Amino acid sequence: MQLLARLPGLGPRSSRKAVLALLKRRNDLLLPLADALQQAIVKIAECPQCGNLDTVSPCSVCADPRRDASLIVVVEEVGDLWALERASVVSAHYHVLGGHLSPLDGIGPEQLNIAKLVTRAKSPDVKEILLALNATVEGQSTAHYISDLLQGTDVTVSRLAQGVPIGGELDYLDDGTLAAAFKARRKL
């Protein structure tokens, strides 16, 4: 229970519930979970190229020849990569930073997977770096930092659009989102 409570999104209450469920369902939940965790320890590793997590190295995304090798989509965490893959909006390569710049928490460029991104950006195959970072202050300052770093290279640096979400009603949007949508308006 103490270990589970350390996981994000699981406080002491929900970890107690989870443990009770596991103990009650020994055969169909506890044993398969223990086995899956054991396998994860042995098999899952960080991809040396992009920072994704996979059972093969380089990861199945990096090794996929059907993907557009001219575009690298930069994300903060592996979860963001999974989100983009689930939405299947892009068939390109990725680069996982492992977080965002946060000087107050002691996270500078050296703590993130940035140096390798610059190396990858210099490859002749790569034409565009899309900074798909979170629309937070930290995410956007990380994007600016990387964009500055890539100034001297031949790649086009782009970022995700910001503004009105699909199905969003203007009345419900926060001021920041409305302002971003205004700034990013397009001709019809």
Q: Closer to Zn ion at the Cβ: 94 or 138?
A: 94
Candidate residues 4, 16, 22, 49; the one interacting with Zn ion per rule CB under 5 A:
49
Q: Are 24 and 17 in contact (CB under 8 A)?
A: no
166: left (phi over 0), alpha (psi -120 to 50) or beta: beta
Residue 93 CB, shortest distance to Zn ion, in Å, is: 7
Q: Are 121 and 71 in contact (CB under 8 A)?
A: no
Helix, strand, or coil here: 99? coil
Cα–Cα distance for residue pair 91/95, rounded to 1 Å: 13
143 class by beta-carbon count within 10 Å (0-12 exposed, 13-18 middle, 19+ buried): buried
- State the amino acid at position 102 in one-letter form: S
| By the rule CB under 5 A, 96 interacts with Zn ion | no
| By the rule CB under 5 A, 47 interacts with Zn ion | yes
Residue 58 CB, shortest distance to Zn ion, in Å, is: 5
Beta strands 53-54 and 45-46 are: antiparallel
Q: Closer to Zn ion at the Cβ: 52 or 142?
A: 52
Binding segment toward Zn ion, per CB under 5 A, in 5-13, 41-49, 134-142, 152-160: 41-49
Binding segment toward Zn ion, per CB under 5 A, in 16-24, 52-60, 146-154, 180-188: 52-60
Binding segment toward Zn ion, per CB under 5 A, in 13-21, 60-68, 106-114, 147-155: 60-68
Q: Which helix (H) or strand (E) holds 17?
A: helix 12-24
What is the DSSP secondary structure assignment for residue 107, as one 8-state letter? B
| By the rule CB under 5 A, 73 interacts with Zn ion | no
Candidate residues 8, 26, 62, 64; the one interacting with Zn ion per rule CB under 5 A:
62
Binding segment toward Zn ion, per CB under 5 A, in 40-48, 140-148, 161-169, 175-183: 40-48
Binding site for Zn ion (CB under 5 A): 47, 49-50, 52, 58-59, 62
